[in-house]
C-alpha cells in the first residue's frame, strides 16, 4: 500500500520513526506498524485527504525531541538520513555497533532513559527512534554489552517498568559510508526476528540468519530435501530436541545428556538411530548443518502464529 502511495505522491517521505517537529506534510501510519509516510499538504485535495484518513491512521508529529543530548541527536540525524551526506556523528576511528531494542507498548521516556543510563556501558550512546523503540550505540572497547548483560537489563526493565524488551545485537563496523547499509540490513533482520521468532527476546546476526535463510528457501525445495528427516523426527517428538541440542553443544554427547537430564547412552542411542534412519552423518560438519536446518524449520513451522 505504501509503495502505491509513493508512486502517486513522489514528493512523499517515508520513515520508520515517528515524525518530529513542524512540517508541511500530513503524516499517516499503517495500523500496528512502525511505517510512516508524510505527504505534502499541497499535493492533497480535500477528497484525497478524507480518503487517506479513512484508510490510514493520521499521526501528529511529536513537538518534543526524543533525543536531548548532543551525541544522541547527532546519531539520530545520521541514522535517519536527516543530516548531510558527508556527515558522521563521531570522530572516533574505532568500530561501533548498534544494539536495537523495542517494546510492544509505549514507555515513559524519562524513566526509561534514566534506567538505561545506569544499565549500559559507559562507552554507549542511547538513541530513541520512537516512544517504544531505540538504539544502544557502542564503541568497541574492552567492555561491551553481551547477551547475558542484556538478559539482566531485560529483567530489570520488566520488574521496574513492567515492559518486556526485544534486543538485536549488531556487528561492529567503522562509522563510514558502509555503516548505514549495514544498519538498514540489521533493522530488517530485527523486524524479521520479532515477527517469526517470538519465543526469543535477544537476537543477533548469528542467531537469526539460519531462520532468515530457511524462510526464503523455496517451499518445494525444503519439502523434497528435508522429507526423510521430517518423517524420522515425527516418529519421535523428543528426537528433534535431542538432535538440536546435541548440535548446539558442538556434538558433545556428555554435555547434551547433562542438559537433557538423560543418561549419556540414551543420547548416543538416539543419535545413532537418527543417523541410521536418515543416512545423514551428523558427526560431520555438512551433515550437522543439514540436520540443524531441518530442526530449525520444524521449530518455525510449529511456532504459535
- Enter the C-alpha cell of residue 21: 517537529
CATH of domain 217-301: 1.10.10.2840
What integer pLDDT is reported at residue 21 of this predicted model?
Answer: 61
Q: What is the pLDDT of residue 145?
A: 87
Q: Identify the DSSP state of 20.
A: B
Q: What is the mean pLDDT of residues 164-184?
A: 92
- Asked if the model's pLDDT at residue 138 lies above 80, the reply is yes
Residue range 217-270, pLDDT digits in tens: 888 888 888 899 988 988 887 888 899 999 999 999 999 999 999 999 999 999
Contact 117, 126 (CB under 8 A): yes
Q: Which of 30-39, 43-52, 86-95, 115-124 has the lowest mean pLDDT?
A: 30-39
CA angle at residue 71 from 84 to 170, to 5 degrees?
Answer: 85
CA angle 184, 64, 180 (to 5 degrees): 15
DSSP string computed for 164-178: --EEEE---B-SSTT
CATH domain 70-209 topology: Alpha-Beta Plaits (3.30.70)
Burial of 36 (0-12, 13-18, 19+ CB in 10 A): buried
Give residue 169's pLDDT.
95
Contacts 24+ apart (CB under 8 A), 110-115: 111/161, 112/157, 112/161, 112/163, 115/156, 115/157, 115/160, 115/161
Higher-confidence residue of 165 and 143: namely: 165
Domain ranges of the chain: 2-59, 70-209, 217-301
Three state DSSP letters for 213-235: HHHCCCHHHHHHHHHHHHHHHHH
Amino acid at each position: 500500500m505504501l509503495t502505491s502511495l509513493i508512486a502517486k505522491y513522489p514528493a512523499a517521505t517515508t520513515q520508520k520513526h515517528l515524525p518530529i517537529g513542524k512540517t508541511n506534510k500530513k503524516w499517516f501510519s499503517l495500523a500496528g506498524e512502525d511505517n510512516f509516510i508524510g505527504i505534502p499538504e499541497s499535493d492533497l485535495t480535500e477528497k484525497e485527504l478524507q480518503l487517506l484518513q479513512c484508510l490510514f491512521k493520521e499521526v501528529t508529529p511529536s513537538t518534543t525531541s526524543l533525543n536531548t543530548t548532543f551525541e544522541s541527536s547527532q546519531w539520530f540525524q545520521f541514522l535517519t538520513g536527516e543530516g548531510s551526506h558527508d556527515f558522521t556523528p563521531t570522530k572516533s576511528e574505532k568500530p561501533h555497533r548498534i544494539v536495537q531494542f523495542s517494546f510492544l507498548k509505549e514507555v515513559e521516556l524519562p524513566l526509561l532513559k534514566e534506567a538505561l543510563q545506569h544499565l549500559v556501558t559507559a562507552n554507549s550512546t542511547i538513541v530513541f527512534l520512537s516512544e517504544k523503540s531505540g538504539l544502544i550505540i557502542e564503541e568497541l572497547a574492552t567492555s561491551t554489552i553481551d547477551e547475558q548483560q542484556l538478559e539482566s537489563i531485560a529483567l530489570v526493565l520488566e520488574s521496574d517498568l513492567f515492559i518486556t524488551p526485544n534486543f538485536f545485537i549488531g556487528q561492529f563496523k567503522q562509522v563510514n559510508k558502509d555503516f548505514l547499509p549495514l544498519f538498514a540490513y540489521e533493522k530488517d533482520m530485527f523486524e524479521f526476528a520479532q515477527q517469526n521468532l517470538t519465543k526469543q527476546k535477544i537476537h543477533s546476526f548469528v542467531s537469526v540468519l539460519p531462520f532468515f535463510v530457511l524462510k526464503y528457501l523455496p517451499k518445494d525445495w525444503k519439502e523434497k530435501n528435508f522429507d526423510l528427516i521430517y518423517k524420522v523426527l515425527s516418529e519421535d517428538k523428543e528426537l528433534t530436541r535431542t538432535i538440536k541440542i546435541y548440535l548446539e553443544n558442538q556434538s558433545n554427547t556428555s554435555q547434551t545428556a547433562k542438559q537433557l537430564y538423560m543418561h549419556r547412552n540414551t543420547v548416543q542411542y538416539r543419535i545413532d538411530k537418527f543417523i541410521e534412519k536418515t543416512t545423514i552423518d551428523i558427526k560431520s560438519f555438512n551433515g550437522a548443518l543439514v540436520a540443524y536446518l531441518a530442526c530449525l524449520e520444524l521449530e518455525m513451522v510449529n511456532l504459535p502464529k
